[in-house]
Copies of this chain bind each other. A is one copy, B any other.
Amino acid sequence: MNMMISLDGYSSGPNQTAENPFGEGGMQLTEWVFPLKAFREMHGEEGGEVNASGPIVAGWLQGVGATVMGRNMFGGGPGPWGDWQGYWGDDPPYHHPVFVLTHHPREPLEMQGGTTFHFVTDGIEAALERAKEAAGDKDVAIGGGASAIQQYLAAGLLDELLLSVVPVILGGGSRPFDNLGDARPKLEQIQVVEAPGVTHLRYRVT
């Protein structure tokens, strides 16, 4: 899994809404990423900055054959589904199957460019199994948000964590490492990358 996180441990700010999916102040977590060439390419745009964050961002999807994400990260508000199609437009950057955790059934949603959103109502293990099957030899990425991360961490189902630590203090929101109880994983630091306005920390679950 990878996520952007504040110095006080939040991956989104308080009062998330459909219009403001990162919550109040939460967009500060993402400011380092938008100017990057690697990020712009991922979204079909040209130009952009080249720095040490580039390979990290490119690596988000390299070798990844399927993604799992929480309902809140896919968006569209709580409750039964309307016609919400995610935050990523007609051609999402995934280009592989994406399994969305939800309590509300919905038919698969096929987007352009190879991304299909599947809606999984029978829990995190089932979603991961389906993602592993879809990914084949490739990796499965857990996209977020905080609640999905908490559940996968507590279940001991994550192998590797990539945290992009942004020098901001949000003061509220969702913390991916809260609510783990005694199921807190043991971690080993395996990579550190200093980049403008962010530090990338990679850990292996041991």
Residues 52-101 of A at the B interface (beta carbon under 8 Å): none
Q: Complex Cα distance A117/B13, Å?
A: 40
**CB of A14 within 8 A of chain B?**
no
Task: Tell me the bound Cα distance from A168 to B184 in angstroms.
Answer: 9
How far is it, in angstroms, between the C-alpha of A188 and the C-alpha of B175 when the chains are bound?
A: 22
Interface size class of A (residues with CB under 8 A): 20 to 34
- Say yes or no for A17: interface residue by CB 8 A criterion: no
Q: How far is the CA of A167 from the CA of B178 in the complex (A)?
A: 15
Residues A165 and B201 in contact, CB atoms below 8 Å apart: yes
Closest B residue by C-beta to A176:
B8
Residue of B nearest to A182 (CB): B171
A169 to B179, CA, bound (A): 11
A-to-B contact residues, CB < 8 Å: 7-9, 163, 165, 167-171, 175, 177-178, 180-182, 184-185, 187-189, 192, 194, 196-199, 201, 203
Chain B residues closer than 8 Å to A163, beta-carbon distance: 7
Q: Across the interface, do A184 and B171 meet the contact criterion of CB distance under 8 Å? A: yes
Q: Is the CB of A171 within 8 A of B181?
A: yes
Are B168's CB and A187's CB within 8 A? yes
> In the docked arrangement, what's the CA distance between A107 and B192, Å?
46
List 9 contacting pairs A-B, 8 Å CB cutoff, sorted by A. A7-B163, A9-B175, A165-B201, A167-B188, A170-B184, A171-B182, A189-B199, A192-B192, A199-B199
Kindly list chain B residues whose C-beta atoms are within 8 Å of the C-beta of A187.
7, 167-169
Contact assessment for A199 and B192 in the assembled complex, using a CB-CB cutoff below 8 Å: yes
